[in-house]
Homo-oligomer: A and B are copies of this chain.
Amino acid sequence: MPGPRRRGTIRSGVEGGGQVSANLQLTEDGRLRHLLTLEGLPARILTQILDTAESFVSVGEREIKKVPLLRGKAVFNLFFENSTRTRTTFEIAAKRLSADVINLNIATSATNKGETLLDTVANLSAMQADMFVVRHASSGAPHLIARHVAPHISVVNAGDGRCAHPTQGLLDMYTIRHYKGGFHNLRVAIVGDVLHSRVARSQIHALSILGCPEIRVVAPKTLLPRDVESMGVHVHHKMETGVKDCDVIIMLRLQNERMQGALLPSAGEYYKFWGLTEDKLKLARPDAIVMHPGPMNRGVEIDSGVADGKHSVILPQVTFGIAVRMAVMSMVTGSNA
């Protein structure tokens, strides 16, 4: 008696394809049921998430930072890949909604015993979970889980392989809308290791859906996916042209392991060509904002003065991230009415 299977083909776990995912993510009457990827979601859903998050930002500023929307619901943080920071943001968001939170670091447990991913999830479902927040090193794992859970359970992707990190993409959109008022006249540059970045993928999808007219990716060829232009972005191989006249500059984290491989010469070389310094920032618009998903490598992809400077909105991103996750969690459980 495994969880009921949803209609539609059950395919391999390793894909994320737009149309199918959009169907999987929405109920028949068009409400958000799972959040797996931003790709293929309608603009009205993204806007609804941002609007709902806006109402939660004020909750965080209250004396008592709790609302009872998820009281008695059980949120399972299923982290097949360790990430204290992301897990913490979801834990806080769930607790502010008054949910019970169960943290499962699966990297070190059940799968050790030879159980399959779907058996692990079926078991946790049978414990009457209401939501799975899933982080997994394999692209598509949250989709696979979403296809097999019981109808009352929602799945939220907290980062899967190189595929997607939709709540990060959404909090970035919230931040941009907060500081820039909207997306329709913006020039946005995403700078750095786009190739390995699920964050960049989610940002590009979200910006496209929300109508941003000019999305640039700025990186050396070795750090760009081959098909990147098919995503509707402009490719720049120089910082100087890449950030010129931009309203928003999003710096990506450079994974240390890239440096040890053959992809890059050294941290110093990277900083020289691709690090965001005060000088390069001057090429952008005078009111440009600088974003970073964290954790930062100061002196590698970003100058310390820029990170702490007046253009930086890196810490507000974190604050908005809690509200955005509260919004997603309340919407997928139908508790936001």
Contacts and interface: CB of A to CB of B under 8 A. Distances in A.
A125 to B, nearest CB: 8
Interface in A1-57: 1-3
A277 interface: no
Given A123-B295, A318-B126, A74 B102 contact: no
Interface of A: 1-3, 60-66, 71-74, 82-85, 88-89, 91-92, 95-96, 100, 102, 104-106, 108-110, 113-116, 119-120, 122-128, 256, 294-298, 308, 312-319, 321-322
A65 B110 contact: no
A62 B128 CA distance: 10
Given A123-B295, A318-B123, A318-B127, A84 B72 contact: no
B102 A91 contact: yes
Given A92-B74, A109-B82, A123-B318, A128 B60 contact: yes
Contacts of A84: 104-106, 108-110
A71 B66 contact: yes
Given A85-B109, A104-B88, A128-B322, A119 B295 contact: yes
Contacts of A83: 109
A74 to B, nearest CB: 6
18 contacts: A60-B128, A62-B72, A64-B71, A65-B128, A84-B106, A84-B110, A85-B110, A88-B102, A96-B100, A115-B294, A115-B295, A115-B296, A116-B298, A119-B298, A123-B294, A123-B295, A127-B321, A127-B322
